[in-house]
């Protein structure tokens, strides 16, 4: 059987997962032909020429490697046409350092080991950054708030109690509280009526609109509380998670929940009390500040 060969280009951009900066000299190739490779340029861009048979071997694996980063693997399908991809590489974690528990690193940090602070930061910086970015919807603000959260956590590391919560929970709670303060201040500044206006009628209209709205500060606090609860309820048992969602995310009353689930009202109240206790344990310390 005669087979037609096709030449296509796999193009793309290779960036650092956290910073978004281009990764230079990353090696890009297909698993089926490791000898045919290319490298990313100073802008992180690359173009790989691939010769493939139209009806055979249409599936392959794209592999990207770079010094200091984890090996990246992506399944692709070779089709008649060019393929463009965007790659985000994660920093490689030293296994010996990774095996150290958070509590061991905290103990070392309190003992004066500056490297322990750095390892804690490297361990949680990416996940904390992306959680904050979802809350504030701004990359620059998220970057600043991430470092502020670490700064606050490290400045009072001696107050951390591993019997009350995991370090990650404690750190995330500090970050969430900081985001709430930041968003509250930003929203109040946006809604401020202190600034002079050129038209007195416009000012009166703004007062009228404000009177009929939920207080901006209350709105922000409520929204951030919902986000906080949403981030952790996934760890609850299904029955508790469903009750929390119905009560606090859908604002259902106890009798409405009991009717929807065909459960006695007393059972609903008892299980919700248990669910809230579990949430409080997961979020301590800091839940009472929200």
pLDDT value, residue 249:
65
- Is the same domain home to 118 and 159? yes
User: What range defines the domain where residue 64 resides?
Assistant: 5-89
- Is the same domain home to 203 and 241? yes
Q: Which residue has the higher pLDDT, 290 or 39?
A: 39
Lowest-pLDDT range of 7-11, 156-160, 248-252: 248-252
pLDDT tens digits for 16-46? 887 888 998 899 998 888 778 899 998 999 9
- Is the same domain home to 103 and 185? yes
User: For 187, phi and psi rounded to 5 degrees?
Assistant: -70, -40
pLDDT value, residue 281:
64
How would you classify residue 57: left for phi > 0, otherwise alpha for psi between -120 and 50, otherwise beta? left
pLDDT tens digits for 246-288? 776 667 788 888 888 888 888 888 888 877 777 666 655 444 4
Domain boundary among 89, 111, 130: 89
- Please give the Cα distance from 117 to 154 (Å, whole number): 8
| Total number of domains in the chain | 3
- Is the same domain home to 216 and 140? no
Domain boundary among 189, 212, 235: 189
> What percentage of the chain exceeds 90 in pLDDT?
12
- Render 193-217 in DSSP notation, one character per residue: --S--S-HHHHHHHHHHHHTS--HH
Q: Which residue has the higher pLDDT, 150 or 135?
A: 150
Look at the block and give the residue holding tokens 């310390």: 285
Taking the whole predicted model, whether its pTM rises above 0.85 is answered as no
CATH number, domain with residue 270: 1.10.10.10
- Is the same domain home to 58 and 122? no
Q: Which residues contact 137 (CB under 8 A, 6 or more apart)?
A: none
């Amino acid at each position: 059987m005669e087979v037609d060969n096709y030449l296509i280009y796999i193009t793309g951009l290779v960036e650092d997962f956290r910073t978004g900066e281009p990764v230079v000299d990353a090696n890009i190739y297909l698993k089926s032909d490791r000898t045919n490779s290319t490298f990313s340029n100073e802008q992180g861009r690359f173009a790989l020429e691939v010769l493939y048979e139209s009806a055979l071997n249409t599936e392959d694996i794209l592999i990207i490697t770079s010094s200091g980063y984890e090996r990246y693997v992506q399944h692709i399908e070779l089709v008649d046409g060019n393929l463009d991809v965007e790659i985000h590489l994660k920093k490689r974690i030293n296994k010996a350092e990774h095996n150290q528990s958070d509590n061991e690193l905290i103990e070392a940090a309190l003992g004066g080991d500056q490297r322990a602070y750095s390892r804690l930061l490297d361990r949680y910086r990416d996940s904390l950054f992306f959680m904050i970015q979802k809350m504030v919807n701004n990359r620059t603000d998220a970057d600043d708030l991430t470092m502020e959260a670490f700064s606050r956590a490290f400045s009072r590391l001696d107050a951390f109690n591993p019997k009350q919560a995991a370090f990650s929970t404690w750190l995330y709670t500090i970050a969430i509280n900081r985001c709430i303060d930041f968003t509250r201040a930003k929203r109040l500044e946006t809604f401020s009526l202190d600034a002079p206006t050129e038209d007195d009628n416009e000012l009166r209209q703004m007062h009228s609109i404000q009177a009929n709205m939920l207080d901006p500060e209350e709105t922000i606090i409520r929204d951030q509380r919902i986000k906080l609860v949403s981030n952790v309820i996934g760890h609850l048992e299904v029955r508790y998670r469903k009750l929390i969602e119905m009560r606090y995310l859908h604002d259902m009353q106890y009798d409405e929940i009991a009717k929807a689930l065909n459960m006695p009202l007393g059972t609903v109240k008892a299980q919700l009390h248990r669910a809230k206790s579990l949430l409080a344990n997961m979020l301590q310390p800091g839940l009472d500040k929200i």
